Amino acid sequence: MHDRQSKMEAFGRLLDILDQLRLKCPWDKEQTFESLRPLTLEECYELSEALLQKDHPDVCKELGDILLHIVFYSKIAEEQQLFDVKDVCDQLAEKLIFRHPHVFGTVSVQDAGEVEKNWEKLKLKEKNGNGSVLAGVPSSLPSLIKAYRMQDKAAGVGFDWEDRSQVWLKVQEEIREFQREIEKDDKDGMEDEFGDLLFSLVNVARLYGINPDNALEHTNKKFRERFNYLEAETLKKGLSLKEMSLDQMEVIWQQAKKHIP
């Protein structure tokens, strides 16, 4: 691995390259906060995919793409005399020091859970106690991740189950309420109650230390691989899925489950 000096030199080189691109490249000259935003979102999803695949060379590449966006936004802001990359780094450093008094101060903590609780309390102090606990959860987050983050933040200030096993009663309650709306054939009611059921299941995941988005993505990946196996085996038989009965597909599906656990 590289030493501190070489890391700082590499970062400086990146800043110099971006300065040149901003001056001389027609595309880079035209970029704004607004034009970069959708590209940044895309890069974040590409990083997420690389992390899930445990493709470390690709993780390195995607981190570079995101770092480019960070320095690009900072450069645009500097041109508008709003802030620059030093301000970004300094503000982040001060925030990390403030939120880690157990490292940079005299506070003692027992475990990572206590660190998380202190983190949320310190975030509220930063807002002089006037900010909403949930204000830090972006509205644009995907719904599953948003539900998890809102529940996590609420739990950070003590709004949580006393015993995690209690959450199963809530899940059962939401299932019953969803079933009642199904019986009434009330589409709006079904949607509302299904949302409540999903929200309660996200809570189950959180309480048992599972990230629901990761869990669902692993299941998506598994389903895709098994379904691809089903399609491939069907083609080997000279058939198409539309020509097969559900029972015939089930036989191959069970084979897929053995090949792809």
Instruction: Give me the pLDDT at residue 131, please.
Output: 66
CATH number for 180: 1.10.287.1080
pLDDT digits (tens, 9 = 90+) for 53-87: 899 999 999 999 999 999 999 999 999 999 999 99
Question: Considering 48, 69, 84, which residue would you say is the last residue of a domain?
Answer: 84
Instruction: Give me the pLDDT at residue 127, please.
Output: 62
Do 139 and 169 lie in one domain? The reply is yes
Do 198 and 218 lie in one domain? The reply is no
Is there a domain that residue 118 lies in?
A: no
Instruction: Give me the pLDDT at residue 129, please.
Output: 53
Question: Considering 55, 84, 113, which residue would you say is the last residue of a domain?
Answer: 84
Residue closest to 178 by CA, chosen among 162, 164, 167, 194:
194
pLDDT digits (tens, 9 = 90+) for 33-58: 999 998 999 999 999 889 988 999 99
Instruction: Give me the pLDDT at residue 243, please.
Output: 87
Mean pLDDT over each residue of the chain, to the nearest integer: 91
pTM over 0.85: no
Instruction: Give me the pLDDT at residue 112, please.
Output: 77
Residues shown for the chain: 261
Is there a domain that residue 110 lies in?
A: no
Do 159 and 194 lie in one domain? The reply is yes
Do 187 and 221 lie in one domain? The reply is no
Do 9 and 76 lie in one domain? The reply is yes
Is there a domain that residue 124 lies in?
A: no
Do 38 and 77 lie in one domain? The reply is yes
Do 60 and 20 lie in one domain? The reply is yes
Phi-psi region of 196 (alpha: psi -120 to 50; beta: other; left: phi over 0): alpha
Instruction: Give me the pLDDT at residue 1, please.
Output: 85
Is there a domain that residue 123 lies in?
A: no
Do 27 and 64 lie in one domain? The reply is yes
Alpha helices in 80-211 (DSSP H): 85-99, 101-104, 112-126, 143-156, 167-184, 187-207
Amino acid symbol at 44 = C
**Percent of residues, the chain, with pLDDT higher than 90:** 70
Is there a domain that residue 234 lies in?
A: yes
- Answer with the residue of higher pLDDT: 162 or 120: 162
CB 124 within 8 A of CB 131: yes
Number of folded domains that form the chain: 3
Is there a domain that residue 49 lies in?
A: yes
Do 9 and 74 lie in one domain? The reply is yes
pLDDT band at 122 (very low <50, low <70, confident <90, very high): confident
Question: Considering 50, 84, 118, which residue would you say is the last residue of a domain?
Answer: 84
Is there a domain that residue 25 lies in?
A: yes
Do 17 and 73 lie in one domain? The reply is yes
Do 197 and 164 lie in one domain? The reply is yes
Coil vs helix vs strand at 206:
helix
Q: Which structural domain range is residue 136 located in? A: 132-210
Is there a domain that residue 254 lies in?
A: yes
Do 220 and 251 lie in one domain? The reply is yes
